[in-house]
Structures are given as structure tokens and as C-alpha cells.
Amino acid sequence: MSSLGRVAKTKNGATKKLKSGDGLKYIRAVIDSNILTENIGQSLLTNLESSGINFVTNGTTKGFIRWERRREQQLVQNNENVELSNKFTDEDFILKILSARELNEEIEQESIITTMQRIKTSYPGKKITILVYGIKEFCRKSKNGGRYTFETKLTELQVLHNFNSRLIETSADLNITVQQFSKSIGDIPFKKQQSELSDDQNFFVINDNRDCVSVKGKTGLSSLWQHHLTKLPLVALETAEAIIAEYPMPRVLLEAYGNNPDGPDLLENIPVRRAGGPLSSVRRIGPELSKKLHALYTKNDPNYIL
């Protein structure tokens, strides 16, 4: 079972709603130790540790950073033996770290495309991003080529061969990039669950952020009506409350518009109380907002300007 299944199911089998960031604890970055000996990578491990991102190092994949996800182990049949499944499985994202000097050599030898295609063959199905560092300094010291040459070749790799790329200069840039990838990869189960919810429901009833109003049965409908009104221009909270006091549901307001020949002026004289206590004042909704609301709820012309 994947970690998505593990996190998304409670003990009784019910689906548990995931939260952004939950999946990071199941992710670890696998970092080539050669990167850490370069100036660009000297602070990487300290930064990941302080950010709560798990990692391991190895020296077998030169210039690579990839990610693994921890899974629930299961018993699997392997020929005549029963074994535990792998504890970690590879994610589909790889960073290939190149210095500007290394990239320039590959471009001069016209081997960069062959090199990257060989990497793609070694890692089928993976999404590979080339991370190039030190271009500014290289161009400043070298008379050969320039930034335009690098960007042209990287664009060719992206458009024709589906390799993404980023240009960075400092170790802080590398730290931020690895953090971003780690958090995004960790959130894949959360994003998948959100997508599944969106497929099952209309997007406007998903209730997936703090600005949404929870509605269960009839509970919350009044709050939803108020929330809707306050999203309209010129409608402050006290104005919405005044309208709801007269028309507690949208259906009631629409029926009133249908039964009243003076619909545009229907809300004009509704009193709106400002503040409270002995110093409170009262004003009217007024003709301008009354006409705008009438047009909003009754006009069928999509090109009508409120």
C-alpha cells in the first residue's frame, strides 16, 4: 500500500483528509556526496536538517539529487521465497547538478544532448531538471561563449528533449531549490486527493480553505448567504446583515423581485445600522446599490455592465 493509502485511511477504513505538508515526513532526498564537496553544496545538509527534510548521501550517482518515499512494507512472493517489499520507492523527479564550466565543455564538444539522453535512458520515466550554477562568474572570467549560448542550449534541451532547467548562482539558491522540490514532492498525495475531490464535486462546494463556509444540511446556509453578499462591491458586513434581516434567504429576495414592479428600488430604504450602542447611526442602502443588486440577480445578459 502506498503512503497515500496509509495516510488517507483511518483505522476504520474511512478516508482521512490530508493536509499540505503532511507528506514531507515520508520523503527523503538522496544526494550525491560529490555535490557536498563543491562550494555550491557545502551548506545543503545543514539547511535540509534545519528545515526538517530527511536525506541520505551516496557517491554512486554523480551530480544527482533524487527523492524516495517511505512505503508500508508488504510480504511479496519472489520465486520460491517470501520477502518484504522495499521500504523506499523512487519518486519521479531528479535534479542533475552541473557547473557552468561542465556545461560549457559539453556544449563545446557537442555532447550535452547525448549525455542527457543517456541519463534519460538510465532513468526511464523520470522528470529530469538540469540545475546549472556559476554562469555569471564563468562568463565574467571566460571569453568563450556567454549566457546567451547557455540559455540557447538549455532551451533546446527543454523544447526538443523535455529537460527542464534552472540557473542558480549561490549555495542559498541550491538550498531553496531542493527545499521547494522536497516539499512539492511530499505534497503529491495531498494534491492527488484534492484532484479526486475536485472530480467528485463542483469546485465551488469543496470547502477546502479558510474562506469557505461549512454547510451541513440547513446549518450554515444563513452564513453562506451573508458571506456571498459581503463579497460584492459596496456591501459591508452591516449592509449584508440588514438585507438578511429582511430577506433571510436568496430565494426570498428573488421572489420579492419577481412580485414587485419596482424591483430596482426594492432595497433602497432598508435601514443599515452602523456600530452599536448609544452612538450608533442609521443610514439607508440607497438607490445605487439597490439597482446594482437587482441587476445582478435578475439580468440574463452576460454583457450587462453593473
Kindly state the cell numbers that stand for 170.
549561490
* Cα→Cα distances 196→5, 143, 203, 215, Å: 13, 53, 11, 20
Q: What pLDDT was estimated at residue 77? A: 61
* Whole-angstrom distance, CA of residue 122 vs CA of residue 66: 13
Q: 36 near 56, Cβ under 8 Å?
A: no
* Whole-angstrom distance, CA of residue 298 vs CA of residue 21: 44
**What's the CATH class of domain 21-186?**
alpha beta
Q: Is the pLDDT of residue 209 over 70?
A: no
- Averaged pLDDT score across all residues of the chain: 84
Parse the chain into domains and list their residue ranges.
21-186, 213-298
Instruction: Tell me the average pLDDT across 192-200.
Output: 72
Q: The pTM is what?
A: 0.63
Q: What pLDDT was estimated at residue 275? A: 65
Instruction: Tell me the average pLDDT across 170-180.
Output: 94
The rounded percent of the chain whose pLDDT value lies above 70 is 83
Domain 213-298: what homologous superfamily? Crossover junction endonuclease EME1, DNA-binding domain (1.10.150.670)
Which residues of the chain form beta strands (DSSP E)? 27-32, 54-58, 64-70, 75-78, 81-84, 88-99, 127-133, 164-168, 271-274, 281-284
Q: What pLDDT was estimated at residue 233? A: 86
DSSP 18: P
> Which of 7 and 303 is assigned the larger pLDDT?
303
